[in-house]
């Protein structure tokens, strides 16, 4: 697996640290209503050979969280949104790790209108029909996060 980025800065982590980061053109068409704290429109398109994607979401102020198999919403949100250390295979096939940190997220639930993830389809992990039925959809208007680099080669 890997990460698609829309930035010229991808070259350093990709070539120097062998991170599986790949280039793509990512565009958003969003309209956020600060009064309700919801998006009137949220669309994301990624043009990339490796992992093309399209997502369209809708959001209503009265939408509630629905987390099956978790004892409560707080536990679910810790598991689903808390920063962590991640492990990945470097572009040279060796195992690597890096950490990510961000402040506590203030996510709100949303509804998936449509999704197409080319990588999931191509790898036969989740077919297009299955992509229309995610476990959850959570939106965070904006959040700064830190990726601690350089990563560690294990």
Polymer length of the chain: 154
CB burial of residue 66 (10 Å; 0-12, 13-18, 19+): exposed
Pair 108, 59: CB distance under 8 Å: yes
**Tell me: the pLDDT tens digits for 35-85?**
998 999 999 999 999 999 999 999 999 999 999 999 999 999 999 998 788
| Distance, CA of 27 to CA of 29 (rounded, Å) | 7
- DSSP letter at 143 equals -
Four-point Cα dihedral 52, 30, 20, 95, nearest 10: -120
Tell me, what's the pLDDT at 111?
Answer: 95
pTM: 0.83
Pair 65, 76: CB distance under 8 Å: yes
């Amino acid at each position: 697996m890997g990460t698609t980025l829309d930035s010229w800065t991808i070259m350093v982590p990709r070539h120097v640290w062998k991170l599986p980061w790949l280039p793509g053109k990512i565009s958003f068409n969003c309209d956020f209503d600060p009064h309700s704290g919801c998006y009137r429109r949220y669309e994301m398109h990624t043009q990339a050979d490796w992992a093309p994607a399209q997502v369209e979401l809708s959001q209503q102020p009265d939408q509630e969280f629905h987390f099956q198999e978790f004892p409560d919403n707080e536990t679910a949100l810790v598991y689903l949104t808390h920063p962590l250390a991640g492990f990945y295979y470097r572009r040279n096939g060796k195992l690597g790790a890096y950490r990510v940190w961000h402040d506590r997220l203030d996510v709100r639930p949303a509804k998936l209108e449509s999704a197409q993830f080319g990588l999931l389809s191509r790898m036969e992990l989740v077919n297009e029909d299955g992509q229309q039925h995610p476990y959850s959809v959570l939106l965070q208007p904006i959040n700064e996060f830190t990726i601690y680099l350089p990563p560690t080669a294990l």
